[in-house]
Amino acid sequence: MSYPQEKPLWPGLALASLGAVCFAGKAIIVKLAYRHGVDAVTLIMFRMLFALPLFLALSAWAGRGKPPLTRRDWMVVAGLGFSGYYLASYLDFAGLAYVSASFERLILYLNPTIVLFLGALLFGRRVTARQLVALAVSYSGVLLVFGHELRFQGSNVWLGAALVFGSAISYALYLVYSGEEVKRLGAPRLTGLATTVACGFCIGQFLLVRPLSAALTVQAPVIWLSILNAVLCTFAPVVMVMMAIERIGATMAAQTGMIGPMSTILMGVVILDEPFTGWVAAGTVLVMGGVWLLTKWR
């Protein structure tokens, strides 16, 4: 009697790991682009301009043979795109002007803890004592690195940390409210549509607050870095993580994503010459440990 062979885990793990590393590289590219005198509004416009055709293609592919969206669907997609991809991205880019790439990644990695808070605040979900312990561990790690950043980067770290934390909250709201729409439209279609909407917001913001000539005066490295950011650190990891979830499940894919902060720190040290001290190492261990405990105890 023959039994069906189990599918190997390594392709899914490889996709989740590569996706996490590509996501993490976004902060490095943004920091490199800032060295050429570009501002956050212009930089995020270029990123989304180059990503737009890719997400349009993803939306068309994911929507094959499916019924068209209703007016309600479009309103929900617009709201999710605004919160999860436009506002979250803009606040993140703005915050990276004031904090290191390593610290930015640690703040964003608090996302599961923010989702937990929002669940309790908006839907009255119970938070257990174990979960509170996990939260305390994670936030103590962020505070540890924050004190280090404040010492070496100056008072603007307050502003940068607030902007990046606002980005994490905005994306957490997207996660909290997207669950029902994911069931209706499917993750690939919703992601493609929401990011397409976000591309429109980012391009529209630039046209409203900057003269069109500003796009023609940026240095060539900014263009190439934006293309790299759009393809390698925006579109590709979205697709890889979705493929990984199909193969190994959301929980294992999320746990594999824990290599993201470590890869950001490593790239920050090697590419950006950011300092790696015992304080950063300890804070990273606490943040990742707290999120791991939260994932385990949920």
pLDDT in tens for each of the 298 residues of the chain? 444 456 677 777 888 889 888 988 999 999 999 999 999 999 999 999 999 999 999 999 999 988 888 999 999 999 999 998 999 999 999 999 999 888 898 888 888 888 888 888 888 888 888 888 888 888 888 888 888 777 766 678 899 999 999 999 998 898 888 877 888 888 889 889 999 999 999 999 999 999 988 888 899 999 999 999 999 999 998 888 878 877 776 666 666 777 777 888 889 888 988 887 888 888 888 888 888 877 776 6
CB distance 289 to 135 below 8 Å = no
Entry pTM: 0.87
261: which 2 tokens?
């902060």
Distance CA 230, CA 33 (A): 13
For CA atoms 204, 206, 209, 210, give the dihedral sign: negative
- Please provide residue 5's backbone torsions phi and psi, each rounded to the nearest 5 degrees: -75, 140
* DSSP-derived secondary structure letter, 217: S
CA angle 167, 18, 36 (to 5 degrees): 55
